[in-house]
Chain A
Amino acid sequence: MYAGIDIGSRTICFAVVSGDQVIHSKITDTGFEPVKTARSLLKGNYEKIVATGYGRHAAVSDFADNVITEIKAHALGAVFLFPGARTVLDIGGQDTKVILLNDGGSVSDFQMNDKCSAGTGKFLEIMSGALGYAHLPEFAEKSLSGRSGVKISSMCTVFAESEAVSLLHRGIKREDIGIALHSSVVDKAAGMLVRVGFKAPLVFTGGVANNHCIVKLLSERLGVEVLVPPQPQLVGALGAALSGRKNI
C-alpha cells in the first residue's frame, strides 16, 4: 500500500493505492493545523507516504517519507487515469497550473500563476458569497443559465468582487453576473493553455474541475473535449501515492 497526501490551501486529499487500484481516499478541509489534520487521515501501515501541495515540506518533517511538487503529482495522477493525456490543467484553491506532458507521460513544460490567486478556487468562492449563494455547486448551476453579455474586467479578486456588487446594484441578474465571473476564470486559464501551446487530450484536475459551468465554458472556448475525472481534487494525492510506488 502506498499513500499520497496533498496538503492544499483549502483541502487535504488523501489516497491509498495497492497494485493498480485506489483502495481508499478521503477529502477534508485544511483547517488551521494542516499537519495534524493530515496525520489524522493515516490509517494502517504504508510502504511509503508521499506528500505534495503547499504543506508538503511540513509533512515530510513530521510523518511523510518523500515529497513531490503538485505539478509532478497531477501529471502522474492524470496519466494514470487518462493514459495518453498530453496536457493537464489544475485549478486549485489558490493556484492555476498548466502542465505539458510528452509521449512518455513526463512533464515537458509547465506554467503557474505568480503570487496572485486571481482566477482560482478562492476567487470563485468569494464571488459565490458576494452574489449570495449558499455554496459553490449552486453558484455554478445557476450561472449555467445566465446570459452572456456582461463583462467582468478586473482579474483581481478584490476589485472583481466590487465590480460584481456594483453590477447587482445596477439591477443585473445574478445569473448573468455569475456566468461573467466564470468566463473570466476560463479566460485566464485558456490564456495560459494557449501560451504554452497545449495539446489534446486535456485533463482538468483540482477542485475547480468540479464546477460544471467552468468545464462547459472551457470546452467551448478551446474547442476540445475537457476530460474530468470523477473526483478531480484527488488527482494530486493519487499522483503522490503512485510516485511512491514508482520509486521502490
Chain B
Amino acid sequence: MADYRKMWRDMGLNMESHDQLLEALPPTYHDAYLTQNNRPASMEYFDFVVNEIHGLRVQELQEHKAGGGKVIGTFCVFVPEEIIRAAGGICIGLCSGIEIGTAEAEKVLPRNICPLIKSFMGFKLAKVCPYFESSDMVVGETTCDGKKKAFEILNDYVPVYVMETPHMKKERDWQLWREEVRDFARHIEEFTGIGISASSLAQSVREANEKRRALRRLSELRKCDPAPVSGKDCLLIEQIAMYDDVVRFTAKVNELCDELDKRVETGSGVFPAGAPRVLVTGTPMAIPNWKIPHIIETSGAVIVAEELCTGLRYFENEVDEQGTDMDAIMDNIAQRYLGINCAVFTPNTGRMERLLQLVKEYRVDGVIHCALSFCNSYAVEANRVEKVLRQENIPLLKIETGYDQEDTGQLKTRIEAFVEMIKE
C-alpha cells in the first residue's frame, strides 16, 4: 500500500487510533478470506480494494472534493444513490461492522444499543474513519428508532439530512415517499450546487441498474451445485458495492462472473457438490463483519444467498428505465426503493414470501436468521420468519449476536450442530 499518512493527517484523523484500527483488520481478513480453497482469480480486485480500504478510494474521494465535488455518506439501502450521483456527488455507505470508539460512543449513547449504531457513532467521535471524515454531509432515515434518534446526536458532529421512510405500504405512504424522494433531490441539488436534469438522472439510474444486474448475475451463478464462489466472497463484494466507484465496480463484478461461468461449465466449485446449502437472512453485515458467515463456511456448509441489506435487498429490484421526463423517473426511483422488504415495515409479508421463493430457487437446506443484538425490528420479526418456515418444514437457526467475539465458541457449536442436522 502506498503511504497515505499525510492524507490521513490532513483529513484530521486520530492517527494513533487509526493505526490500531488498521492493525486489527489484516489478520481477520487473512483468516477469513485468504485461506479459502479454490478462490476465483478475479477476487484479486476485491482483495486489492480491502487492502486499500483507507487508501486509494479515499484518495479518489479527496480528489473529487478538491475539484469542488461533494461526498455524501449514507447508512441505509433506502437512500437513493441515483439522486446523489445525478447531482455530481459521490455516495458512500458508512455502516461499519467493527467495535471501535465504544467508550467515545457511550458518552452520547446508551450502553445497550445496536452495535451498528454504536459503531458509526464511535467511528465519528473517535475520528478514525476516512470515509466519514470525507463526507460533507450524511443522510439518515427514519427506519428504526435507534438510528432515528442517533441521527439527532450525530448532527452535532456532521450535517445530517433525514429522509422520512414510512412504516407501512398504504397508498398514503407511497405518496409520502414520492414526496420525500423529490425533497431529497432538491436538498442535494442545493447542497452540491449542481442541478439534476432528466438526462443526468436517467444516466445515474442506468448505471445503478447495471451494478444491480451484475450483482444479480453473480447471485444467479450461486444457484449451481457446487457453488462456484463462496458466500463470504459474495458478502465482501456486496459490502464493497456500498462505497466503490459504480462503473468500475460493475465491470469487475462482471469479470468475476465471466470466470464463474467457465467454472460452472466444468463443474468446478469452492465446496464439494452436495455440500449443505444455507440462506442467511436478517440484519445487515457491514464491512468487516464476517463473523457468522466465516463460522458457517468453516463448518462444512456453503452460503448460497444473503437476504440482507448487504445482499439481495440492495440489488434485487431495479428502477424502471421506461420514464424519460423528470417526474416519471422520480416516481420510478421511489417505486423501486419502497419495494425493499425491511423489518421496520408492518406487516412485512413481502419478506416472508420472498424467503420461501429463495429457499426453492437456491435449493436451500436450511436458513440462518442473524439479528444484531438489540435490533428489535429483526429480532421480533424472526418469529414471523420461523412461523412460515416451520409450515414448510424448512430448518431454521436463530442467532442474536454483536460485533464482539466472546460468543464464538457457542456459536460454532450451534452452527455446526445445525449443519449436521440439515445434512442428514
- Note all chain A residues with C-beta closer than 8 A to B421: 72, 106-110
Q: Is the CB of B416 within 8 A of A69?
A: yes
Q: Is chain B's binding surface mostly helix, strand, loop or mixed? A: helix
Q: Is the CB of B410 within 8 A of A68?
A: no
Q: List 25 A-B contacts (CB under 8 A).
A: A54-B409, A54-B413, A69-B413, A69-B417, A70-B413, A70-B417, A72-B417, A72-B420, A72-B421, A95-B413, A107-B417, A107-B420, A108-B421, A109-B421, A110-B414, A110-B421, A112-B410, A112-B413, A112-B414, A114-B400, A114-B407, A114-B410, A115-B406, A115-B407, A115-B410
- Note all chain B residues with C-beta closer than 8 A to A110: 414, 417, 421
- Note all chain B residues with C-beta closer than 8 A to A69: 413, 416-417, 420
- Any chain A CB within 8 A of the CB of B156? no
Q: Is the CB of B414 within 8 A of A68?
A: no
Q: Is the CB of A71 within 8 A of B410?
A: no
- Any chain B CB within 8 A of the CB of A113? yes
The distance in angstroms between the C-alpha atoms of A75 and B77, with both chains bound, is 43
- Note all chain B residues with C-beta closer than 8 A to A114: 400, 407, 410
Interface size class for chain A? 10 to 19
Q: Is the CB of B407 within 8 A of A71?
A: no
Q: Is the CB of A106 within 8 A of B417?
A: no
Closest to A57 in B: B412
The distance in angstroms between the C-alpha atoms of A9 and B420, with both chains bound, is 22
Quote the shortest CB–CB distance from A3 to chain B (angstroms): 20
Closest to A70 in B: B413
- Note all chain B residues with C-beta closer than 8 A to A107: 417, 420-421, 424
Q: Quick one: which of B359-415 are within 8 Å of A by CB? A: 395, 400, 406-407, 409-410, 413-414
Quote the shortest CB–CB distance from B225 to chain A (angstroms): 23
The distance in angstroms between the C-alpha atoms of A95 and B395, with both chains bound, is 22
- Note all chain B residues with C-beta closer than 8 A to A72: 417, 420-421
Q: Is the CB of A71 within 8 A of B400?
A: no
Quote the shortest CB–CB distance from A12 to chain B (angstroms): 16
Q: Quick one: which of A99-122 are within 8 Å of B by CB? A: 106-110, 112-115
Q: Is the CB of A71 within 8 A of B406?
A: no
B: residues with CB less than 8 A from A are: 395, 400, 406-407, 409-410, 413-414, 416-417, 420-421, 424
- Note all chain A residues with C-beta closer than 8 A to B420: 68-69, 71-72, 107
- Note all chain A residues with C-beta closer than 8 A to B413: 54, 69-71, 95, 112
Quote the shortest CB–CB distance from A103 to chain B (angstroms): 13
Closest to B396 in A: A109
Closest to A243 in B: B420
Quote the shortest CB–CB distance from B65 to chain A (angstroms): 43
- Note all chain A residues with C-beta closer than 8 A to B417: 69-72, 107, 110, 112
Quote the shortest CB–CB distance from A97 to chain B (angstroms): 9
Quote the shortest CB–CB distance from A84 to chain B (angstroms): 18
- 6 further interface pairs, Cβ-Cβ under 8 Å (given A109-B395, A114-B410, A115-B406): A70-B413, A71-B417, A72-B417, A110-B421, A112-B410, A114-B407
- Note all chain A residues with C-beta closer than 8 A to B400: 114
- Note all chain A residues with C-beta closer than 8 A to B424: 106-107
Closest to A67 in B: B416
The distance in angstroms between the C-alpha atoms of A95 and B409, with both chains bound, is 11
The distance in angstroms between the C-alpha atoms of A68 and B409, with both chains bound, is 14
Quote the shortest CB–CB distance from B60 to chain A (angstroms): 41
Q: Is the CB of A95 within 8 A of B410?
A: yes
Closest to A68 in B: B420
Closest to B412 in A: A57
The distance in angstroms between the C-alpha atoms of A183 and B327, with both chains bound, is 67
The distance in angstroms between the C-alpha atoms of A158 and B420, with both chains bound, is 34
- Note all chain A residues with C-beta closer than 8 A to B414: 110, 112
The distance in angstroms between the C-alpha atoms of A107 and B423, with both chains bound, is 11
Quote the shortest CB–CB distance from A127 to chain B (angstroms): 22
Quote the shortest CB–CB distance from B85 to chain A (angstroms): 42
The distance in angstroms between the C-alpha atoms of A110 and B397, with both chains bound, is 9
Quote the shortest CB–CB distance from B301 to chain A (angstroms): 13
- Note all chain B residues with C-beta closer than 8 A to A115: 406-407, 410
Quote the shortest CB–CB distance from B380 to chain A (angstroms): 16
The distance in angstroms between the C-alpha atoms of A48 and B97, with both chains bound, is 41
Closest to A95 in B: B410
The distance in angstroms between the C-alpha atoms of A238 and B242, with both chains bound, is 50
The distance in angstroms between the C-alpha atoms of A113 and B407, with both chains bound, is 10
The distance in angstroms between the C-alpha atoms of A113 and B410, with both chains bound, is 8
Quote the shortest CB–CB distance from B12 to chain A (angstroms): 37
Closest to A106 in B: B424
Quote the shortest CB–CB distance from B171 to chain A (angstroms): 40
Closest to B299 in A: A69
The distance in angstroms between the C-alpha atoms of A106 and B424, with both chains bound, is 8
Interface string of A129-150 (1 = CB under 8 A from B): 0000000000000000000000
The distance in angstroms between the C-alpha atoms of A95 and B410, with both chains bound, is 8
Quote the shortest CB–CB distance from A10 to chain B (angstroms): 14
- Note all chain B residues with C-beta closer than 8 A to A106: 421, 424
Closest to B422 in A: A107
The distance in angstroms between the C-alpha atoms of A71 and B416, with both chains bound, is 9
- Note all chain A residues with C-beta closer than 8 A to B410: 95, 112-115
Interface string of A145-182 (1 = CB under 8 A from B): 00000000000000000000000000000000000000
Closest to B401 in A: A114
The distance in angstroms between the C-alpha atoms of A71 and B417, with both chains bound, is 6
- Note all chain A residues with C-beta closer than 8 A to B409: 54
Quote the shortest CB–CB distance from A52 to chain B (angstroms): 10
Quote the shortest CB–CB distance from A87 to chain B (angstroms): 15
The distance in angstroms between the C-alpha atoms of A38 and B410, with both chains bound, is 21
The distance in angstroms between the C-alpha atoms of A112 and B400, with both chains bound, is 12
The distance in angstroms between the C-alpha atoms of A3 and B407, with both chains bound, is 29
- Note all chain B residues with C-beta closer than 8 A to A108: 421
The distance in angstroms between the C-alpha atoms of A72 and B424, with both chains bound, is 11
Closest to A117 in B: B410
Closest to B410 in A: A115
Quote the shortest CB–CB distance from B390 to chain A (angstroms): 10
The distance in angstroms between the C-alpha atoms of A109 and B424, with both chains bound, is 12
- Note all chain A residues with C-beta closer than 8 A to B416: 69
